[in-house]
Amino acid sequence: MAFKLKVKESLFGIDRSASEFGTPVFMKDLDGSVLAEANRDGTIFIDKRASRKEVDAAIEHEKVHLQQMKQGRLDYTDDTVIWKKDTKSPARVYKRAQMMEGAKNLEWEAEAYKKSKK
């Protein structure tokens, strides 16, 4: 009996065309109106329902967040977002329950929208 092995990208949900070395992009079901997420491990999650145009724009936007995290300016927990305007500023802690994720008026989002032109 013969069988065909699946390629690892399809097993794990990796979008090969959107991924780069060190920044794999995973297509998955995301909660509610969330289109994309940048993760501390350098990965990006994109909602499976996103169009190709939305995927491209979201990746550009989420890469800004990845850079913010690498610079030590952005971090998060399940309950909070920790933000520093620059590396010399004190950190501010925001409760996630009291904010609209992805809102353009949040400092880290405003920077990402501006730099990604999304």
Tally of domains within the chain: 1
Closest by CA position to 77, among listed 93, 54, 88: 93
Task: Report the predicted TM-score, pTM, of the whole model to 2 decimal places.
Answer: 0.85
Q: 3 lies in a domain?
A: no
Structure tokens at 92: 């501010």
Domain membership flag for residue 6: no
| pLDDT confidence of residue 20 | 77
In a domain, 5, yes or no: no
Q: State the 10-residue block means of pLDDT for the chain, 118 residues long.
A: 66 71 89 89 94 93 96 95 93 93 92 86
CA angle at residue 62 from 52 to 81, to 5 degrees? Answer: 140
Residue 91 DSSP class = P
Residue 88: which of 73, 78, 76 has the closest Cα?
A: 73
Q: Is residue 4 part of a domain?
A: no
Residue ranges making up the domain that contains 54: 11-116
Return the pLDDT at 7.
62
